[in-house]
Amino acid sequence: MGNLIVKSQTEQVEAFLNNAVTSITNYLNQTTIDSVMSEVDGDKAYFESLLSNIRRLVVYCEEGLDACQVVLSNEPFRKGAAEKTLYKIYHQCIDEFFAPKNDSWYEDSRAAYTGKNALTFRQTPPPSIEKLLSSLEGNFQSIREELEFYETDYRTKMLQSK
């Protein structure tokens, strides 16, 4: 029975990552630093860091998507490999979305109580970037809640196996 739950979660994460990759890739394919600079007055270095974080995020999501597809194509389904993949996705994709490497934005932990978006930008972002991240936030939050279990469960398993 546990295999079915993990397989279902892996399929759910695969669909989520596929949508995220598509949205981010479509945005990046039509966006340049000049186009975001024309949206709003701001710091070019900050806008470059925003785009850099978005590019890093899409790479992590693509890697996670590929890993999900490999795990799901294996017969028989390997629960251990799927759990390891979901753990890695949690730490790369989800963490990168809510806490990017150079802190161009961060998660406001009080947002859950206010009903506002959780992402807060260090400076005023271009509207197109704010719109992209806002459109992705709800799905990233849902998947984070779904995968939080692997944060503790996988670590516990690794510690017990030593």
Residue pair 93/1 in contact by the 8 Å Cβ criterion: no
Cis peptide before 76 (omega within 30 of 0): yes
The residues, any chain, with a CB within 8 Å of residue 63's CB and separated by 6 or more, are 92
Residue 56: its pLDDT value, please? 97
Structural domain range at position 19: 2-161
The yes-or-no verdict on residue 1 having pLDDT over 50 is: no
58-113 pLDDT tens trace:
999 999 999 999 999 998 999 999 999 999 999 999 999 999 988 899 988 766 55
3-state secondary structure string, the chain?
CHHHHHHHHHHHHHHHHHHHHHHHHHHHHCCCHHHHHHHCCCCHHHHHHHHHHHHHHHHHHHHHHHHHHHHHHCCCCCHHHHHHHHHHHHHHHHHHHHCCCCCCEEECCCHHHHCCCCEEECCCCCHHHHHHHHHHHHHHHHHHHHHHHHHHHHHHHHHHHC
Q: Return the structure tokens found at 99.
A: 């806490």
The yes-or-no verdict on residue 150 having pLDDT over 80 is: no
Residue 149: its pLDDT value, please? 76
**Partners of 107 in beta bridges:** 119
Residue pair 92/147 in contact by the 8 Å Cβ criterion: no
Share of the chain above pLDDT 70, in %: 86
Q: Return the structure tokens found at 136.
A: 């992705």
As for how many domains the chain has, the answer is 1
The yes-or-no verdict on residue 10 having pLDDT over 60 is: yes
pTM across the whole model: 0.88
The yes-or-no verdict on residue 119 having pLDDT over 70 is: yes
Residue 126: CATH number of its domain: 1.20.140
